Amino acid sequence: MVSLTEYLVVAALLFTIGLLIVLYRSNAILVLIGIELMLNAANINFVAFSQALGGHAGQVFAVFVIVAAAAEAAVAIAIVVLLHQNLGTIDVEKARYLNG
């Protein structure tokens, strides 16, 4: 049987790669992908703890995290499309003056 620690190690690695994508890439859609990977790493932790502790509360929480992630992705894609319409680029380095 796979132990809880191994799931936590995989989730930690996935979170680190997600953080690296967010910090390193400058394309707004890739930054969004990095955020989704980090949320998935958190979800793996929730489900692994839920299974190790013998309850189902972690799975309930993971479903709410997925709901929040879907809402966040919808808003973020809208922002990216508007950014492209206003600036002509979705490079987050170039979007420096967003105060209207």
Residues near another protein (CB under 8 A): 1-10, 12-21, 23-27, 29-30, 32-34, 36-37, 40, 43-44, 47-48, 50-54, 56-57, 59-60, 62-64, 66-71, 73-75, 77-82, 84-86, 90, 93
**How far is residue 87's CA from residue 81's CA, in Å, rounded to a whole number?**
10
Is the CB of 75 or the CB of 99 nearer to another protein?
75
In the complex, what is the shortest distance from the CB of residue 26 to another protein, in angstroms, rounded to a whole number? 6
Coil, helix or strand for 32? helix
Q: What phi and psi, each to the nearest 5 degrees, are found at residue 91?
A: -75, 120
**How far is residue 16's CA from residue 90's CA, in Å, rounded to a whole number?**
24
